[in-house]
Amino acid sequence: MIPRLLSGTALMAALALPLAAQARTVEEAKASGTIRVGIQGDNCPWGCINSAGQADGFDADMGRAFAEYLGVEAEFVPLQVANRIPALTTDKVDVLFATMGMTAERAQSIQYSRPYAANQLSVVAPKEMAAASGADLAGKRVGVPRAAAQDTALTAEAPEANILRFDDDAATIQALLSGQVDAVGGNQIYIQRLEAARPGVYENKMPLTALYNGAGSRLGETDWNEALNGFLESHMISDAYKATYDKWMQLSPPDFPAEMDGIPYTVTQ
């Protein structure tokens, strides 16, 4: 059969269409010698780019350990909160170690691994400010990273608060330090960073929720999911993992749930 030729107009339209992203398999990544790991770009101690231009933080160390497990080098891609999942689903990265709080809603868009870190979310405010309940926050300006879990939690718990949404954790913290907001919804690391910037001023107030972080791969990609879980199963019982957790979190690793409602740790058939 002779292939049908496109008309000039149809050909121009076809060329204008974006090419579909072809996601790499684990074996293709191994063959290339690198894996592309998405981390947060400005959220140390979780993930950041340091003054030397190198990926740093807990998630960067986990990404390097995963690359070593596969026998390749890690190529880090710094991301903001809002573009973590799009970067994965459009094949900008192979996997995410990007402070991905595990929620049933997100599990509709990405495949989680088993959890490898925990993150307590709380309202953080000046010590003299009353912020023990959602009612205390009525009329207050409360900053959150856009689309993060604390955004969802505060929207539900403090409907009368004036919630201001920022691009990432660093911008949210800076908004509190500059007086742009009265309080923030933060993770367990916020108080460390605030204490370093302004000692003795802020404290954790109203607890929101405890999140577990998982590594992310694309839906249906069994090979990446199995590689991530195989790595975590072996790495998380090692002294190296415990040392990494203590170095960055200043905590011992917690007990992790064997399963979570609505969040499969493996690809479901």
Query: Are 24 and 72 in contact, with CB atoms under 8 Å apart?
Result: no
Model pTM score: 0.75
Residue 269 is predicted with a pLDDT of: 65
Is residue 232 within a helix (H) or strand (E), and if so which, with residue range?
A: helix 222-235
Burial tier of 245 (Cβ tally within 10 Å: 0-12, 13-18, 19+): buried
Do 41 and 49 form a contact (C-beta atoms < 8 A)?
Answer: yes
Say how many Å lie between the first and final Cα of the chain, rounded: 38
pLDDT number for residue 211: 87
**What pLDDT is recorded for position 1?**
36
CA 181/CA 198 separation, integer angstroms: 16
The pair of structure tokens assigned to 230 is 């195989």
The predicted structure's pLDDT at residue 43? 87
| Coil vs helix vs strand at 22 | coil
The pLDDT score that the predictor gives to residue 266 is: 98
Per-residue pLDDT of the chain (269 residues; tens, 9 = 90+): 333 333 333 333 333 333 335 699 999 999 999 999 999 998 889 999 999 999 999 999 999 999 999 999 999 999 998 999 999 999 999 999 999 999 999 999 999 999 999 988 999 999 999 999 999 999 999 999 998 889 999 999 999 999 999 999 999 999 999 999 999 999 988 998 999 999 999 999 999 988 899 999 999 999 999 999 999 999 999 999 999 999 999 888 999 999 999 999 999 86
